[in-house]
Amino acid sequence: MALVRGTSPLVDATPEDAVSTWPHLLLRGLICALVCLSALLAAAMLFDAPLHDPASAAETPDPAKAPWYLLGLQELVHYSAFIGGVLAPGLSLAGLVMLPYLDRSHARRPRDRRTGICLFTLFLLANLVLILIGAWFRGPGWSWTTPWSANTPGGRP
């Protein structure tokens, strides 16, 4: 309700430049989604994504690496099964669940929500570092190596 000059307090004040959600907003979102999907399909058709040889139980690759999104956990499990398999995922999950309770600010500006933003950024950077280490700096026998060294087959997984 707004304060508007009129004969009754029931005068409705509506913005003059308002547009409805359908079709204006939803059509724009649909068009953006279709453009992104078209770009992704074009990139998939233009660039080859070679696969390795078919999996064989007789020959396992060294090192056997998890998918990229699990490399951080595999890196932690390499050091300690309890820390990488139970403690770190449990604490990460508990921290992400508790994040809304740790940052109780109702502010909408990012500079007023530094606690939550810093905690989430720290979590994200830690995962990114572990994923990059697992993807590019682990060689045969899960030993430290560099992506450009000769003992890394193919340079990266």
Q: How far apart are CA 91 and CA 142, in angstroms?
A: 25
- Tell whether 32 is covered by a domain: no
- Tell whether 132 is covered by a domain: yes
DSSP classification of residue 137: S
User: Residue 9 above 70 pLDDT?
Assistant: no
Q: How far apart are CA 146 and CA 69, in angstroms?
A: 20
Q: Please state the rounded mean pLDDT for residues 96-105.
A: 80
Per-residue model confidence (pLDDT) at position 6: 59
Residue 145: φ, ψ to 5°? -155, 175
- Tell whether 45 is covered by a domain: no
- Tell whether 19 is covered by a domain: no
- Tell whether 91 is covered by a domain: yes
- Tell whether 47 is covered by a domain: no
Predicted TM-score (pTM) of the model is 0.57
Angle (nearest 5°) at CA 68 between 146 and 142: 45
Helix axis angle, 114-136 relative to 88-102, nearest 10°?
A: 160
Domain residues for 105? 68-142
The two tokens of residue 104 are 């109780």
Task: Tell me how many domains the chain contains.
Answer: 1
The answer to whether the beta carbons of residues 77 and 85 sit under 8 Å apart is yes
- Tell whether 51 is covered by a domain: no
- Tell whether 33 is covered by a domain: no
The string of pLDDT tens digits covering residues 21-58 is 888 889 999 999 999 999 999 999 999 888 878 888 88
